[in-house]
Amino acid sequence: MSLNFSPGVIAGLLLGWSLVASVVLGGVTYVSSSGIIAKLLHDFGRIGNRETPIILSVLVIEDLAMAIYLPILAALLIGGSTFVGLSTALAAIVSVIAVLALALKVDVRLSRMIFSHSDEALLLMILGLTLLVAGLAELFQISAAVAALLVGIMLSGPAAEGARALLSPLRDLFAAIFFAFVGFSLDPSEIPPVLGTAIALGAISAVTKYATGWWSAGKSGVGPKGRARAGATLIARGEFSIAIAGLAVASDVEPDLGPLAVTYVFLLAVIGPIAARLAEPMADRLLAASHARSPETEEIA
């Protein structure tokens, strides 16, 4: 986590921002876009690749980290030094841990209870459960987004497969609407002052995220080409990063945080898919070049 969280925090501190604003920027740089990456894996036909389970594991770990990070961030934004803020964050973290522990025991039974061969019934059951849990979370002053995320983590088996098939079109539709809405809400005149910072931060965090994918895939015995694909696929940032920045913008923590975060996300949302597409050809060229040099090296030796 520190490898991808640190660039945002360090950049915020170097810009002279407060610690809270820097922590927000760390969250923006940390989490990859699950929506964009899922679309890339499908469109590039990489669902069955050896590195794909590693990519998905990294995304799940990031989502779990966000489930802990968001309550803490919310407490910091409302005044983390107050007793109310600290107690709210502590209650949210305890609730998240309790739900995760419960998920390990009831995920199969819950999925069996929800699953239906009727697409309409399955869709309504999943959306109803999500709204119910999110509403209860709001009642206890816990992030509804985190609660909805935990519902998705708890689903498994046929229920999860059915939900993926039913909700994928909605995911693509709402993702497009989300990015369009964010683009329309940003004043273009706010981009030039933060463009240089966004490019530098994007370059650094792209390298750290690539290193994360390369190392993770390598630990599982994936070859160089698969490791390159894993690293490049994880570069894209998206909806979660903008949502984190939106919380800070609503709290008026730092005026430049919103434009910088949106510009940064849009850059990596474009560069990420391009890098994922070019990762395999570039890896082939590098491997071919290394094989071509090895005989010469042996002759010299």
- Structural contact between residues 201 and 7, judged by C-beta atoms closer than 8 angstroms: yes
Number of domains in the chain: 1
> What are the percentages of helix, strand and coil residues in the chain, rounded to 5?
85, 0, 15
CATH number at residue 139: 1.20.1530.20
pTM of the model: 0.80
Q: At residue 185, what is the residue type?
A: S
230 burial level (CB within 10 Å; 0-12, 13-18, 19+): buried
- The whole-angstrom separation of Cα 18 and Cα 215 is 32
The boundaries of the domain holding residue 272 are 2-300
pLDDT tens, residue by residue, 129-152: 888 877 877 776 666 666 676 777
pLDDT tens, residue by residue, 20-54: 899 999 999 999 988 889 889 988 988 889 999 99
Please, which pLDDT band fits residue 297 given cuts at 50, 70 and 90? very low
Please, which pLDDT band fits residue 299 given cuts at 50, 70 and 90? very low
Provide, rounded to the nearest whole percent, the portion of the chain with pLDDT above 70.
82
